[in-house]
Amino acid sequence: MAKYFNEDWEKVRDEFYSVKEVFACFDRRDAMLKGYYETEDVPNNHTLEKITIVPRLVVKNEDGNEFWSDHHNSGYGGHGASATVRLLKSVGVYLEGTIKQNSQIYYNVANDELKVSGTKFEVIEQNKYNDLPAVDYYCNPNKNIVAIPKIMDSSDSTLEQLEDFTAFYSRSMLEEIDAVYLYLKDNQAIRKGNYLVAESESSQYKKIYPICILGKNGHELWPEVEEGIDKHNPFASYEVESILSAINFTYFEEQKKNFLERLKEAFTSHNPLTLKLTKVNGRVHIEKIDITKTYI
């Protein structure tokens, strides 16, 4: 099976005389969530691959060959969608109104099965967030997406960036939150694979991401916490508080006080700990786990 990315359509069109499936979208992140992406290895990290290529149009033939393009798209009346209409017409697929009116379309030609939907990354919704940072995307061994923000450290709005990233992507990418993991020691985060290898002028080091927000769909957000997490009082950080507030994982003060007392007792043992936060009947439930014994 061959995959053609941004090739000259006229040179490969004859291979697609028998089209089996068509997928088109306006926002390439929708294609990414459907599994249309290519990756490259991440240096010194065995749990992540970086997503580098994502199309907005996929045409698949009966032999399993695929034509990918990020110049063609759907969801509006502009040049990209018009180019998609012309390309599909050249192989006998007529979807002009559908292409221009829908942000996501999937068409199974053989079964004449058409599915349309809106984007999960609405521009109007996205524009509500003034400090939404750029994001790098990775996939884990289960082929789920991991989103990591590129926070501007020199910005005065670091907390706002964290809040906007967490709020927007928890809604658009995770849809529903399964759990939040706070890694109180670096070796817990490293065991899970929550790190990237960065370089300073003199050496390499592991950049730890001590928070993982896990969606029920398996996708993850790793918001950046510059100062790490205080293992004796993990909720003291403004960054942690902002992140949890953005996903409405707030807690009652008496609950926090009682938990911190139990946490101090837990650290009399040598077991490195991770906190698992879940929501039960609208109330945040906090559980201590050791991921050296528990696989997330």
Q: Is the pLDDT of residue 235 over 80?
A: no
| 124-149 pLDDT per residue, tens | 788 888 888 999 999 999 999 999 99
Mean pLDDT of the chain: 87
**One domain for residues 280 and 161:** yes
Same domain, 88 and 167: no
Does residue 296 lie in a domain region?
Answer: no
- Is there a single domain that holds both residue 94 and residue 211? no
Question: Does 216 reside within a domain?
Answer: yes
- In a 13 Å sphere around the CA of 247, the CA atoms on its Cβ side amount to 32
Residues 52 and 11 in one domain: yes
> Which stretch of DSSP H or E encloses residue 59?
strand 57-61
Q: Residue 38 forms beta bridges with which residues?
A: 53
Q: 38 and 113: one domain?
A: yes
Q: Is the pLDDT of residue 250 over 90?
A: no
d(CA 263, CA 192) in angstroms, rounded, equals: 21
pLDDT value of position 23: 98
Q: Are residues 30 and 88 in the same domain?
A: yes
Say whether both 51 and 153 belong to one domain.
no
Which residues are CB-contacts of 179 (< 8 A; sequence separation ≥ 6)? 214, 276, 277, 278
Type and span of the H or E element at 3 = strand 3-5
Question: Any alpha helices (H) in the chain, and if so which ranges?
Answer: 9-12, 28-33, 79-89, 96-101, 123-126, 158-169, 186-192, 238-246, 253-266
pLDDT at 295: 44
User: Per the domain annotation, does 84 fall within a domain?
Assistant: yes
Give domain status of residue 294, yes or no: no
> Is residue 212 scored above 80 in pLDDT?
yes
Same-domain pairing of 41 and 141: no
Contacts of residue 269, Cβ cutoff 8 Å, sequence gap at least 6: none
How far is CA 220 from its chain centroid? 6
Domain end marker among 117, 145, 177: 117
133 and 259 housed in the same domain:
yes
Among 86, 117, 148, the domain boundary falls at 117
Q: Considering its fold, how many domains does the chain have in total?
A: 2
Task: Give residue 73's domain range.
Answer: 3-117
Domain boundary among 117, 141, 167: 117
Share of the chain above pLDDT 90, in %: 56
pLDDT (tens digit, 9 = 90+) per residue, 260-282? Answer: 666 655 555 555 578 899 988 87
Quick check: is 77 in a domain? yes
Same domain, 171 and 95: no
Pick the more confident residue, 30 or 225: 30
Residue 154 has pLDDT above 60, yes or no: no
132 and 254 co-located in one domain: yes
Whether 182 is covered by a domain: the verdict is: yes
Residue 295 lies in a domain: no
pLDDT tens digits along 77-95 = 889 999 999 999 999 999 9
Between 104 and 284, where is the model more confident? 104
- Helices 238-246 and 158-169 pack at an angle, to 10 degrees, of 30
- Written in H, E and C, the secondary structure of 178-215 is EEEEEECCHHHHHHHCCEEEEECCCCEEEEECCEEEEE
One domain, residues 105 and 209: no
Structure tokens at 18: 């028998």
Q: Which of 147-156, 159-168, 264-273 has the highest mean pLDDT?
A: 159-168
Residue 101 lies in a domain: yes
Q: Is the dihedral angle over the CA atoms 175, 177, 183, 189 positive or is it negative?
A: negative
